[in-house]
């Protein structure tokens, strides 16, 4: 029933003149699955294990991923995004002076490689059991080499669709190179803002710098979308910006192919897209020239 519900009765994301922009869900577990979206664009797997003192077993992980894949066979499962800023006690990471700039996201693999291996094996097993074709993506990727190594690991475990998040300006600047290594990009605007503007994403006094309408952030997003178009590969946005109806037409105009958000945001974003033609979206995005 959930699987049918994800198709949604109110239809897919489209501009007024019918250009598709997929509307996807950000979830922390199967409990967050909801009607009305076209799939899952970000499954934050670390949320399953936040209070755990021991590492989640392979079987527990298979069960959690299979529950989501049974409802949404092409869900994008993000590998653990933890570190001293988002601590997972079982990782036993030492305190760091600059947690946001330290060992977090994919970087945890440098010190605890078994964790990623088990997680990728659990995703592959959950896919086999459900007949799904899952997508995995890594958080906090900074270089082409990291993207290539992650893709190689995931593919060796039998996962066919591999992507990386663009959360660090170095990744946005290398979007074309990353897309030579992986199948899709997903832009995490929460962290991309933090790192592009050197502004702690939690800091209440820096909200203006973290505003996703900042031109420098939009330019980074546009660079990724351009690289995606050139490579013929999807480039989505999955940070908070994706759920903002004021920004959705701008992101569509920049060439983003999907927007992934909390379920509550889907109706307003769908409506905002439907209210603008692609030419209007492109004008809002500062791209006057016709699309090639
Ligand atoms: C982001 O950084 O925009 C993102 C989607 O990841 P998280 O919010 O989980 O860091
Ligand atoms: Mg992030």
Predicted confidence at residue 86, as pLDDT, reads 82
Question: What is the predicted ipTM?
Answer: 0.99
Residue from 88, 188, 200 to probe ligand 1 pocket by mutation (most atoms less than 8 Å from CB): 188
- Given this model, what pLDDT does residue 292 score? 58
pLDDT score for 7: 35
Q: How far is it, in rounded angstroms, from Cα 162 to Cα 134?
A: 9
What are the beta bridge partners of residue 25? 40, 261
Pocket flag, ligand 1, residue 109 (CB < 6 Å)? no
The C-alpha atoms of residue 258 and residue 260 are separated, in whole angstroms, by: 7
Which residue's C-alpha comes closest to atom 4 of ligand 1? 188
Could you tell me if 258 and 209 are in contact, meaning their C-beta atoms sit under 8 angstroms apart? no
pLDDT in tens, the chain (292 residues): 344 333 334 789 999 999 999 999 999 999 999 999 999 999 999 999 888 888 899 999 999 999 999 999 999 999 999 987 788 999 999 999 999 999 999 999 999 999 999 999 999 999 999 999 989 999 999 999 999 999 999 999 999 999 999 999 999 999 999 999 999 999 999 999 999 999 999 999 999 999 999 999 999 999 999 999 999 999 999 999 999 999 999 999 999 999 999 999 999 999 999 999 999 999 999 997 655 5
Task: Give every CB contact of residue 137 below 8 A, 6+ residues apart in sequence.
Answer: 76, 77, 78, 79, 162, 163, 164, 165, 184, 186
The predicted pLDDT at position 270 comes to 97
b/e map of 156-193 (b: 16 or more CB within 10 Å)? ebebebbbbbbbbbebbebbeebbebbbbbbbbbbbbb
Position in ligand 1 atom list of the atom nearest CA 86: 10
CA of 242 to the centre of ligand 2 (A): 13
In angstroms, the CA 255 to CA 117 distance is: 34
| Total-model pTM | 0.95
CB distance 191 to ligand 1 below 6 Å: yes
CA-closest residue to ligand 1 atom 8:
190
d(CA 274, CA 16): 4
The tokens for 199 are 């502004």
Which of 25, 105, 139 to mutate to test ligand 1, by most ligand atoms within 8 A of the CB atom?
Answer: 139
Whether the Cβ atoms of residue 247 and residue 187 lie closer than 8 Å to each other: no
- The atom of ligand 1 lying closest to the CA of 239 is 3
d(C-alpha 190, C-alpha 188), whole Å = 6
Buried b (16+ CB within 10 A) or exposed e, 108-128: bbeebeebbeebbbbbbbbbe
- Residue 206 alpha carbon to ligand 2 centre in Å: 18
C-beta of 270 in contact with ligand 1 (< 6 A)? no
Ligand 1 pocket, 190 CB below 6 A? yes
Which DSSP string do the residues of 200-263 spell out, in sequence order?
Answer: -TT-GGGHHHH-TT-HHHHHHHHHHHHHHHHHT--EEE-SGGGG-TTTHHHHHHHT--EEEE-G
pLDDT at site 8:
38
- Cα 126 to Cα 120, 159, 184, 207, 223: the distances in Å are 10, 11, 21, 40, 34
Ligand 2 centroid to Cα of residue 30, in Å, is 20
Query: Which ligand is nearest to the Cα of residue 239, counting in written order?
Result: 1
Question: CB–CB of 121/156 below 8 Å?
Answer: no
pLDDT of the residue at 6: 39
- Give distance in angstroms: CA of 122 to centre of ligand 1: 22
């Amino acid at each position: 029933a959930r699987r049918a519900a994800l198709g949604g009765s109110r239809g897919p994301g489209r501009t007024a003149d019918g250009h598709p922009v997929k509307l996807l869900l950000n979830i922390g577990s199967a409990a967050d699955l909801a009607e009305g979206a076209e799939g899952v664009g970000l499954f934050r797997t670390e949320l399953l294990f936040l209070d755990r003192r021991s590492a989640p077993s392979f079987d527990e992980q298979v069960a959690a991923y299979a529950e989501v894949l049974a409802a949404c066979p092409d869900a994008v499962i993000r590998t653990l995004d933890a570190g001293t800023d988002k601590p997972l006690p079982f990782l036993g990471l030492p305190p760091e002076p600059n947690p946001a700039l330290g060992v977090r996201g994919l970087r945890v693999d440098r010190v605890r490689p078994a964790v990623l291996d088990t997680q990728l094996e659990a995703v592959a097993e959950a896919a086999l059991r459900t007949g799904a074709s899952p997508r995995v993506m890594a958080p906090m990727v900074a270089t082409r080499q990291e993207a290539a190594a992650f893709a190689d690991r995931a593919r060796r475990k039998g996962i066919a669709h591999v992507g990386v998040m663009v959360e660090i300006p170095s990744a946005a600047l290398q979007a074309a190179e990353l897309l030579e290594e992986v199948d899709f990009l997903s832009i995490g605007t929460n962290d991309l803002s933090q790192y592009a503007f050197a502004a702690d994403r939690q800091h209440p006094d820096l909200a203006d710098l973290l505003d996703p309408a900042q031109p420098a952030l939009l330019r980074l997003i546009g660079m990724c979308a351009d690289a995606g178009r050139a490579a013929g590969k999807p480039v989505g946005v999955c940070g908070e910006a994706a759920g903002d109806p004021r920004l959705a037409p701008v992101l569509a105009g920049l060439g983003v192919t999907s927007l992934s958000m909390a379920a509550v945001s889907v109706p307003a974003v769908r409506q905002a897209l439907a209210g603008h033609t692609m030419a209007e979206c492109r004008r809002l995005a500062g791209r006057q020239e016709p699309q090639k």
